[in-house]
Amino acid sequence: DKGGWSSFMAKEISEEPEAVAKTILGRTHDGLVQLNELDPIGDEALRDIDRIVIIACGTAAYAGMLGKYAIEQWSRIPVDVELSHEFRYRDPILSDRTLVISISQSGETMDTLMAVKYVHDKSKAHLLSVCNTQGATIPRESHAVVYTHAGPEVAVASTKAFVAQVTALYLIGLHLAKVRGTLDDAAIRAAVDELQAVPDKLAEVIDVAQGQVGQLAHWMTDTQSVLFLGRHVGYPIAMEGALKLKELAYIHAEGFAAGELKHGPIALIEPGQVVFVIVPSPRDPSSLHPKVVSNIQEIRARGARVIAIAEKGDAAVLPFADEVIPIPLAGSLFEPLLAVVPLHIFGMELADAKGLDVDQPRNLAKSVTVE
């Protein structure tokens, strides 16, 4: 039931705040993270882990990339993110000190399921599943499962499941940080507070972005190609924005790490090329903000039409962007959860403006059950 919305995708985007809130619910205690679901693996084993491998496909893999940034920063455990269908075909190095985290909304994606079975049969690695579907096959083949509570996702394009997956991975990262003593309680509480503030901020972004992004999409029905740039946690968001345009609006789209621009992709910039740029916060202690602003100047000088997704009040981007989509203030690791929403809306609105089937794009299935 679309509940009065024009599509399941529109409904599911509106449920992104709730998906995050419900995924956190019952998993904190006294301001800290309490993930009893990890008990089957056990804190002792988690203290011994020397490497994490995240396996997933599509949007779930981009959630995994965000998980890598957070888990490495908080728990200091090295994390690799691999596409499930690449992972098991190269004799991966696994031991009883490896934690393999699979991410799947459906829990039935064959590529990921086969990779999980491979780990199960060929190694002593610990298998943790992040899944949105109770009792699905992938969690049943794993040692432990942290369910995302996004509710059923019907539209082929994954939206609310993505933000819920990132939330679950962040909770896992904070649990690991506690168990391994890499963050003190005050730092964990601060991160939990940030995460708990995300749903309200998401609601604000949806509110602000809807009209603005809808209008942009209506101007762009003839656009042939769109590029997306981001850095650090903005990079997976750039890839996610591009994937949504491909699958929903059938437009050639590519996401790049902004630092890679000068190593090739800048040659693609010609007058009129539309480029979305995910801008890091100017408050970020790294020097990424000025670097991305200077990327914007470089592409603008070559005639690109720049649409910046930037923190509210970021005056530095205003003179150089054709359009700025504002997002609320948040810590660097939490910004991508907000920046992704305008891109979800954009993909949907552009597909809609082109008269395409938003919920059921051509050639795609909600859950890919063949290898």
Least distance to ligand M6R, CB of residue 14, Å: 17
Residue number of the CB closest to ligand M6R reads: 58
Q: Which of residues 97-126 bind ligand M6R (CB under 6 A)?
A: 104-106, 109, 112
Number of residues that bind ligand M6R (CB under 6 A): 16
Burial of 127 (0-12, 13-18, 19+ CB in 10 A): buried
Closer CB to ligand M6R, residue 112 or residue 295? 112
Q: Write the binding mask 246 to 285 for ligand M6R: x where contact by CB under 6 A, - elsewhere.
A: -x--------------------------------------
Q: Write the binding mask 61 to 100 for ligand M6R: x where contact by CB under 6 A, - elsewhere.
A: ----------------------------------------
Sign of CA dihedral 27, 205, 185, 53: positive
Distance between CA atoms of residues 207 and 203, nearest Å: 6
**Which listed residue (2, 117, 354, 366) is catalytic?**
366
Q: Among 245, 252, 213, 218, which Cα is nearest to 354's?
A: 218
Distance between CA atoms of residues 170 and 158, nearest Å: 19
Least distance to ligand M6R, CB of residue 221, Å: 21
The answer to whether 241 contacts ligand M6R (rule: CB under 6 A) is no
Work out which of 7, 23, 28, 59 binds ligand M6R, going by CB under 6 A: 59
Q: Which of residues 341-370 bind ligand M6R (CB under 6 A)?
A: 367-368
124 is a catalytic site residue: no
Q: Which of residues 143-172 bind ligand M6R (CB under 6 A)?
A: 156-158
The answer to whether 137 contacts ligand M6R (rule: CB under 6 A) is no
Of 53-61, 86-94, 182-190, 266-274, which part binds ligand M6R (CB under 6 A)? Answer: 53-61
Beta carbons within 8 Å of 168's beta carbon, 6+ residues apart: 23, 130, 146, 147, 148
Contacts with ligand M6R by CB under 6 A lie at: 57-60, 104-106, 109, 112, 156-158, 243, 247, 367-368
User: Known catalytic residues?
Assistant: 366
